[in-house]
């Protein structure tokens, strides 16, 4: 197995948001992940921190399926959020 090679491989998409002024970081993560959807179409998830309480939602399928066209992020309050769209590789 070769560890180093001359090609850059793109798999998955990860994004994090820190918002100093508002508590809807998960919604911004959702829109960023939507733009990265081509990087992973097997599963998606978002976690948000609300004053030390971490809430998350994840599932198999496209981002829009997991989060019901953006409505699923309403329960993820907080000013810090991270999300991922996943593509499995061997």
Catalytically active residues, by annotation? 12
Sequence-separated (6 or more) residues with CB below 8 Å from residue 20: 79
Q: How many CA atoms lie within 13 A of 25 on its CB side?
A: 24
**Of the candidates 31, 39, 48, 25, which has an alpha carbon nearest to the alpha carbon of residue 89?**
39
State whether residue 18 is helix, strand or coil.
strand
Count of residues making up the chain: 90
């Amino acid at each position: 197995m070769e560890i180093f090679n001359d090609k850059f491989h793109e798999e998955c998409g990860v994004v994090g948001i820190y918002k100093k002024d508002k508590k809807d970081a998960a919604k911004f993560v959702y829109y960023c992940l939507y733009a990265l959807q081509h990087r992973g179409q097997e599963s998606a998830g978002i976690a948000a921190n609300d004053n030390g309480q971490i809430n998350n939602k994840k599932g198999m399928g496209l981002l829009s399926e997991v989060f019901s066209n953006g409505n699923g992020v309403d329960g993820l309050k907080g000013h810090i959020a991270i999300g991922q769209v996943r593509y499995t590789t061997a």
